[in-house]
Amino acid sequence: MATDDSSLRPGEIEITNQEEKLWRQVNPGWVHDGRVSSQLFRPTPKDTGEVSVTRSSLATPEESYRHHTEVMGYDSAGVYYVDVAEVQEVGLRAIDDSQVDDEDERPPAHAYVDFKSVQTKGDQQRRASKLRDKAEKHGWQYGPVTT
């Protein structure tokens, strides 16, 4: 996928290392009968087309999990991942936004899968399902954690 730097905010960079893993926290509500739903990668309205991930070159799955749960105070059943090549295979891109200087609090090593160019909910769903399938093949990288 070609880089379009004009659509990036100051401080954002496209991640081009295709082997880099992108850790994704699994909300416990997304696990049904032992399987993670496509909600794992489907952006919600509050996401504004940016599905949060953590870069493997800067944090381990456990570090990502602990920051998400202990520092940010969110729930997570554990960590799945897709790599940058897999994101590109479904026509999306991975963006590091950890250096953006705005009022939003971001975890260290924060990045996102960019769905902003996807026009329909159906197309979002198809791409999210493909990413979930790829992540599911890799399996849990940390967890699953039960409480």
User: Is 115 exposed, middle or buried, given 0-12, 13-18 or 19+ CB atoms closer than 10 A?
Assistant: buried
> What is residue 22's predicted lDDT score, i.e. its pLDDT?
98
Q: Which two tokens stand for residue 144?
A: 């699953």
Q: How confident is the model at residue 147 (pLDDT cuts 50, 70, 90)?
A: low
φ, ψ dihedrals at 70, nearest 5°: -90, -35
Q: Give the least confident one: 17-21, 77-81, 104-108.
A: 104-108
Every domain of the chain and the residues it spans: 10-138
Q: How confident is the model at residue 5 (pLDDT cuts 50, 70, 90)?
A: low
φ, ψ dihedrals at 22, nearest 5°: -120, 105
User: Is 62 exposed, middle or buried, given 0-12, 13-18 or 19+ CB atoms closer than 10 A?
Assistant: middle
User: Is 10 exposed, middle or buried, given 0-12, 13-18 or 19+ CB atoms closer than 10 A?
Assistant: exposed
Gap between the Cα atoms of 59 and 54, Å rounded: 7
Q: How confident is the model at residue 30 (pLDDT cuts 50, 70, 90)?
A: very high
